[in-house]
Amino acid sequence: MHILTDDIEFPPVTDADADGLLALGGDLSVPRLLEAYSKGVFPWYNEGDIILWFSPDPRMVLFPEELKISKSMRQLFRKNQFKVTFNTNFTAVIEHCASVRRKEQEGTWITEAMKTAYLQLHKLGYALSTEVWQGDELVGGLYGIWLADRNLFCGESMFAKTSNASKYGFITLVEFLTQKGVRLIDCQVYTEHLASLGAREIPRNEFLKFLAE
């Protein structure tokens, strides 16, 4: 276990424990967060706790060419069921993601400090939001970190107020990012929701090789 200092460098991710926990402490400054994502590390902790930094093994990722679009989802796209925008209301998206109640999770890991930090990243062009609309109502969305120089998007969180809204937004985002040259979507840890969309686990060392390219 490493305790971070004012130095924004992270220890080797191979030092992480079985749960992927690598270090604690530090801050959520823009330079530290960008350093973290570029090294395959991300913050994940609860309100009131010390900041925890993770680099899990295996790593859940989506290769855009492996995106799965079900028959039912294709029907929704043919009907133009939702409207999707990008970066039109980052604040609303992260607020909704923070308020979602998730199974086996007490409270939210999207703390007030996290909101402030990621809004700053958004203002600097590193954090991207996807908004899903039904009429004038925001019914779904997601946000994450776009490392354009590494052709990588690091998904952080998503929400849906109506069925299939988050999937609709995710699929649209993947297609958008593919056009922009993104070759890998980092999904961090396994969920059935992401697996249904084509994401899969790969060894951490393979993920790190991609980052180093």
- Parallel, antiparallel, or unpaired for β 152-160 and 184-188? parallel
**Based on the domain organization, do 11 and 114 belong to the same domain?**
no
**Based on the domain organization, do 36 and 64 belong to the same domain?**
no
**Based on the domain organization, do 45 and 76 belong to the same domain?**
no
Q: What's the whole-number mean pLDDT along residues 86-91?
A: 98
Q: How far apart are CA 195 and CA 188, in angstroms?
A: 12
- Band of residue 105 on the pLDDT scale cut at 50, 70, 90: very low
Q: Is 176 exposed, middle or buried (0-12, 13-18, 19+ CB in 10 A)?
A: middle
**Got the DSSP string for 72-119?**
HHHHHHHTT-SEEEESS-HHHHHHHHHH---TT--S-S--HHHHHHHH
Closest CA to 106 of 181, 60, 159, 49: 49
What rounded mean pLDDT belongs to the chain? 95
pLDDT reported for residue 107: 46
Closest CA to 132 of 93, 101, 95, 102: 93
195: containing domain: 59-212
Tokens (6 digits) for 49: 């706790």
**Based on the domain organization, do 50 and 63 belong to the same domain?**
no
Instruction: Produce one character per residue of 142-156: b if its CB has 16 or more CB atoms within 10 Å, e if not.
Output: bbbbbbeebebbbbb
Number of domains composing the chain: 2
**Based on the domain organization, do 41 and 85 belong to the same domain?**
no
What predicted TM-score, i.e. pTM, was given to this entire model? 0.94
Q: What's the whole-number mean pLDDT along residues 142-159?
A: 97
**Based on the domain organization, do 38 and 66 belong to the same domain?**
no
CATH code: domain of residue 31: 3.30.70.3550
